[in-house]
Structure formats: structure tokens, C-alpha cells
């Protein structure tokens, strides 16, 4: 296991989910909705934090593009920040696992991963998010809404997140 992946695991680790996290790290995050490149930039920013924290520069090898795991972790930090002053807010780790539940991947423990087609299921979930092939209300994606104002497949992830937070927390 490489040092950077171990660093990412340390942010969101939950016992029994190493295979899921490893698979999310293997898949790139792709985007085509305007401004979703910001989510990729946030994910890649974790690399800078890793290098600064480890006092390493230059010689470390990273994946060529933002990984799906990096994007989810960075997005979780954004959720944490938005809910900072809220009673019953979420820290980044809890936000991350909420996103995993929203993607219907919470069942994907290491034990279940080997007995089911975990690799294929995770790849399909990543594809669905990357291509916006989920429901217009966000179900099947990261931020399902009970009462969406717009088709979530056409809304940048930031505004999907904000709508989800507004629907689930009182601001």
C-alpha cells in the first residue's frame, strides 16, 4: 500500500472497508458539468496537504488525475465546513460515510466485497456519478433530494451539496 493512500485512509478509515476505499482510489473522478472541475481540484489539493504534512516535496508519484476517493474526501471536508456551526453537524469522516450510504455502498464491507461482485458494483456506482446517470432528484448519486428544484443531473456538485444540506439541516 502506498504512503499517500495510507494517508487518505487515515482521514476516513472505518474498520472493514479497506477494499471499498482501495477501489474508490483506483477510479478517476471525471466531470463534464461546468465548475465540477473545482471538485477535482479540491481532491488534488489533498496531495499538497499530504506533502506538507510529510515534509516531502517533488519526488512522490500520484495518480494522473483526481481519484474518486480524493474527490469524496475533499467534498466531505466541504460538508464539514458548511455545517461547522450547526448543532448535529458532521465532521469530514461522518460526511464521507454519509456519501457512501447515499451511493448505496455501505454494505460493501471487506467480507461482503469478496462474496459479491464488489469490484463491478463499485465501478458502476462511480460510472453513474461521473456520467450523471442517476435520477433527476439525485437518487443514485451523492446527494439525493426529497424535493429538488432542478434536475440534479445538470447541477454542479457544489449546488447539489448545498441543496442536500439545506434539506437535511436547518440553516
- Domain residue spans of the chain: 3-168
Average pLDDT score over residue span 131-140: 97
Average pLDDT score over residue span 151-155: 97
**Contact between 18 and 110 (Cβ < 8 Å):** yes
Residue 10 has pLDDT above 60, yes or no: yes
Q: Give CA–CA dist 19/37, Å, rounded.
A: 27
| Model pLDDT for residues 42-101, shown as the tens digit of each residue | 999 999 999 888 876 656 788 889 999 999 999 999 999 998 876 676 899 999 999 999
State CA 71 to chain mean position distance: 5
Average pLDDT over the chain, rounded to whole?
Answer: 92
Pick the closest to residue 109 from 37, 38, 23, 44 (CA basis).
23
Provide the pLDDT for residue 85: 72
Provide the pLDDT for residue 126: 98
Amino acid at each position: 500500500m502506498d504512503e499517500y493512500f495510507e494517508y487518505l485512509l487515515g482521514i476516513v478509515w472505518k474498520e472493514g472497508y479497506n477494499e471499498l476505499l482501495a477501489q474508490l482510489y483506483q477510479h478517476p473522478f471525471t466531470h463534464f458539468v461546468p465548475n465540477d472541475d473545482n471538485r477535482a481540484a479540491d481532491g488534488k489539493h489533498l496531495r499538497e496537504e499530504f506533502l506538507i504534512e510529510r515534509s516531502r516535496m517533488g519526488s512522490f508519484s500520484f495518480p494522473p488525475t483526481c481519484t474518486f476517493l480524493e474527490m469524496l474526501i475533499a467534498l466531505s471536508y466541504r460538508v464539514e465546513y458548511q455545517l461547522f456551526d450547526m448543532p448535529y453537524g458532521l465532521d469530514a469522516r461522518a460526511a464521507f460515510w454519509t456519501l457512501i450510504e447515499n451511493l448505496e455502498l455501505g454494505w460493501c464491507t471487506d467480507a461482503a466485497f469478496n462474496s459479491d461482485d464488489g469490484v463491478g458494483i463499485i465501478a458502476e456506482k462511480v460510472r453513474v456519478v461521473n456520467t450523471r446517470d442517476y435520477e433527476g432528484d439525485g437518487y443514485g448519486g451523492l446527494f439525493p433530494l426529497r424535493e429538488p428544484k432542478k434536475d440534479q443531473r445538470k447541477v454542479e456538485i457544489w449546488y447539489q451539496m448545498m441543496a442536500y444540506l439545506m434539506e437535511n439541516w436547518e440553516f
